[in-house]
Amino acid sequence: MQDQNSPSIDLEEAGRALASVSRRIALLHLAYARAIMNELGQERGTRLISEAIKDYALKIGEKTKAEVEDQGYEAIPENFEKGLSYALPKIPGMHSGWEVIHEPDGRKKLRANGCILGKVWKEYGQEKLGRLYCYMDTAKYMGYNPLYKLVHHQALPDGDECCEFEVQETTPEERDDFATPGRDWFYMDG
């Protein structure tokens, strides 16, 4: 007999719930970003949003690093998914699906199809403003280990058909720009 205080749900229902939360995150980002831009203008607003996104993503990266290291693993890209508190779910809901792409030159990319956040931003005609959220992927990786960044080769808000990511090594200049408050670091994604 199932305990009424801890109900189970099927994967389809879990996916719908995750998609609902993803849509809310997309709208929340738009609301804050639009309010900041309206108050400060494009240049100052983008700079403030970049600092907020960096702060948000660093918390995720640092927590992930701590969890990986607490399990006795080194904070390298191969172990990133061992961090559990902020790991993205493997079930569809935030995206319609994931696939790993093995390039002929040995590089590995991750492709996400049907990004819910990107779809919401497109629905509101706010892809450019929504895209600022996506820079958190670069920042969370640098919070995990500043020697690495996660870059988008494709992104739904940029007009692409999917989001495609790759882990790359950072340069000393990128690490310095990222660590210095007020400096542009968005250039690192791409």
The pTM assigned to this predicted structure is 0.90
pLDDT in tens, the chain (190 residues): 445 676 787 888 888 998 999 999 999 999 999 999 999 999 999 999 999 999 999 999 999 999 999 999 999 999 999 998 888 777 788 888 889 999 999 999 999 999 999 999 999 999 999 999 999 999 999 999 999 999 999 999 999 999 999 999 999 999 999 999 989 999 999 7
Residue 161 and residue 145: Cα distance in Å, rounded? 29
Residue 114 and residue 71: Cα distance in Å, rounded? 33
Q: What is the dihedral of CA 109, 90, 33, 184, to 10 degrees?
A: -30
The conformational region for residue 30 under phi > 0 = left, psi -120 to 50 = alpha, else beta, is alpha
